[in-house]
């Protein structure tokens, strides 16, 4: 599918800014219409995906990995723990802290949401050439890295 040129395409930064704004709006609308987050919200899902990828970790390490304040991650962990998706285990080296571990229910829930999200994403780009999908993935990864490196959070670009 050919993409029509954006208005004022010569204003590259303007196009990026506007398209990101529209993307955030579309994702918010999609999330509200979707049943994806019945069991776990978007923030909780990211915590589950992170624990799946990294294995058990402390709240502080998880906050650093997610580039979030520890108090925010603590609230997310508390909600996930209440739902049975994670558990806090005493740190064997420092009994004052705990390690956050993904439970079997957490694995199951995370995998179900991931499956649904992947299916939706595949449907959105099914008619795209493979090189366009690869280019988008690389560009999004670079953007996320740049956001982290610049110390910005999502509230800074909303």
Q: Which residue has the higher pLDDT, 93 or 68?
A: 68
* Per-residue pLDDT at 58 exceeds 80: yes
Q: What is the pTM assigned to this prediction?
A: 0.75
Mean pLDDT for all residues in the chain: 86
Contact 47, 62 (CB under 8 A): yes
Give tens-digit pLDDT for 121-137: 899 999 999 999 999 99
* Per-residue pLDDT at 40 exceeds 90: no
What pLDDT, on the 0 to 100 scale, is given for residue 4? 57
Is the Cα dihedral 49, 52, 54, 56 positive or negative? positive
What pLDDT, on the 0 to 100 scale, is given for residue 153? 47
Residues 23-43 have a mean pLDDT of 77
* Number of neighbouring beta carbons within 10 Å of residue 34: 13
What is 38-151's CATH number? 1.10.10.10
Contacts of 87 (CB under 8 A, 6+ apart): 81, 100, 101, 103
Task: Determine the straight-line distance between the first and last CA of the chain, rounded to whole angstroms.
Answer: 29
Q: What is the band of 85 on the pLDDT scale with cuts at 50, 70, 90?
A: very high
């Amino acid at each position: 599918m050919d993409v029509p040129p954006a208005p004022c395409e010569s204003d590259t930064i303007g196009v990026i800014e506007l398209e990101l704004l529209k993307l955030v709006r579309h994702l918010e609308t999609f999330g509200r219409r979707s049943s994806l987050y019945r069991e776990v919200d978007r923030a909780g899902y990211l915590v589950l995906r992170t624990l799946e990828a990294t294995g058990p970790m402390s709240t502080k390490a998880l906050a650093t990995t997610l580039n979030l304040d520890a108090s925010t991650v603590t609230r997310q962990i508390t909600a996930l723990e209440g739902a049975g998706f994670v558990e806090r285990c005493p740190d064997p080296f420092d009994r004052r802290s705990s390690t956050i571990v993904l439970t079997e229910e957490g694995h199951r829930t995370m995998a179900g949401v991931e499956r649904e999200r992947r299916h939706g994403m595949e449907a959105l780009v099914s008619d795209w050439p493979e090189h366009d999908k690869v280019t988008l993935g690389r560009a999004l990864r670079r953007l996320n890295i740049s956001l982290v490196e610049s110390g910005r959070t999502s509230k800074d670009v909303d």
